[in-house]
Amino acid sequence: MRAFLLYLFTFCGLVGFGAPAMADHSSGTASVKPVPDVVFTLRTDIADGKLVYISEAGPTKGQVNPDLRVAEDAVVQVNIVNGDGALHDFSIPDFSVKSDQIGGKGSATAIVFRANKAGLYEYLCTLPGHKAAGMFGKLIVGDVQETVVSNFPDLSKNPSEVGEPVGKRGAKEITIDLEATEVEGRLSDGASYKFWTFNNTVPGPMLRVRVGDTVNINLKNSPDSAHIHSVDFHAVTGPGGGAAVTQVAPGHSKSFSFKALAPGLYVYHCATPMVAQHITNGMYGMILVEPEGGLSKVDREYYVMQGELYTAQRHGSAGLQEFSLDKLLDERPEHMMFNGSMDALSATHKMESSVDETVRIFFGVGGPNLVSSFHVIGEIFDRVYDQASLTSPPLTDVQTTLVPPGGATMVEFKTEYPGNYILVDHALSRAEKGLVGILTVNGEANDEIFKSEEEVDHSSGH
């Protein structure tokens, strides 16, 4: 029956399903109904806990969220068949095409458009939350080499790079070298941004010292920079947190020293006017001042920071994204991210744990503007060091914790059941702008903690 419906759907003008949405950018004549040069048929489904499109035919048959490759100027038809019974649609924003919504297994719709511009574009389901759940892929028009869009360096920070614990050592003198750079880097597949960084990563390196240490900071501004840069450490007691004496022109260096007087987890950032622009472009990081005797031992430690980008282009656009001052001043970010790119913690870098291990996350908000409601879906924080105070008793059994821009927290929890646990800001519409990470827990399942019952197919009456 499905094969017959697909035959009607693909070759007989969608009898019984309604006419496909059509966008012909080459002619502008509404009455013209071109015959498609290429036809794709995708089925909506659930795979590995994600919402996806699955190819139903051709060389991509069986592939999840397949790359759709077409010649430039081809007339393209994409058929969408509902395979999971939920409400979905299909859209390619760069070609201004969007299907009708379909709900119920076996329902179908289609779009037809002319692919009149070469490049790499995104297709997706536009229903709220569905892209974040996995319903997106790539349309490749013309002879586009995908390596071209990946030539930009990946500046996203590996969350495992947390520095060496201080342990039980005494106070000593520490020297830290930072370099301000301005580098075009990867934002997502097909998109880049001119980031401003400390040491070529966003966020900058996680620095780790001990209370009582004397810390020497050397800040160099790359000769290739076009702007003056500086650094303000929230852990510093002194003028501007160090920013007053580190306004550094391109090609020059400045230094200062400070005494680490109070333990805690502190943000640092560039503080050259306009400060918010320097921060949003990537110039933020954290310094951990451990208490005497160090922190308690855990199995895993991770470094995660939340940031915002304000671009003229809307979220999901390809190419170089340009900074928008108006959106920054209105506090309307187009992109939000953990550790410097849209997929830094969901694809580029792995965060892992095993059953019965303890995990510690050093979490901060570079901002510059939005408060985070940090949450790990499917986990409960055993301990939250509120406002990153390491000398106050931690909160226990916490679901979600607030972290202001320029603020931090430290959370600890035991991973007790295998699976993928999603890091989010629980202002969940931000997940649509890229604010998602994944912690994978490996090991044996324990039915006493969680048990999944056998699925019941309500549509068949069983």
Q: Which residues are annotated as a binding site for Cu cation?
A: 229, 234, 269-270, 278, 283, 426
Residue environment code for 203-238, b if the CB has 16+ CB neighbours within 10 A, otherwise e: bbbbbbbbbebebebebbbbeebeebbbbbbbbbee
- Measuring CA to CA, which residue among 174, 187, 203, 181 is closest to residue 122? 187
Helix (H, G, I), strand (E, B) or coil at 241: helix
- SS3 at position 386: helix
Q: Report CA 178 to chain centroid distance, whole Å.
A: 25
Contact 129, 100 (CB under 8 A): no
Sign of CA dihedral 296, 409, 132, 23: negative
Asked if 310 and 276 count as a contact pair (C-beta separation under 8 A), the reply is: no
Annotated binding site: 229, 234, 269-270, 278, 283, 426
The closest alpha carbon to 233, from 250, 252, 246, 224, belongs to 246
Instruction: Tell me how far the alpha carbon of residue 449 is from its chain's centroid.
Output: 30
Q: Is the dihedral of CA 403, 405, 409, 411 positive or negative?
A: positive
- The SS3 of residue 412 is strand
H helix or E strand, kind and range, residue 69: strand 68-70
Alpha carbons 159 and 162: distance in angstroms, whole number = 7
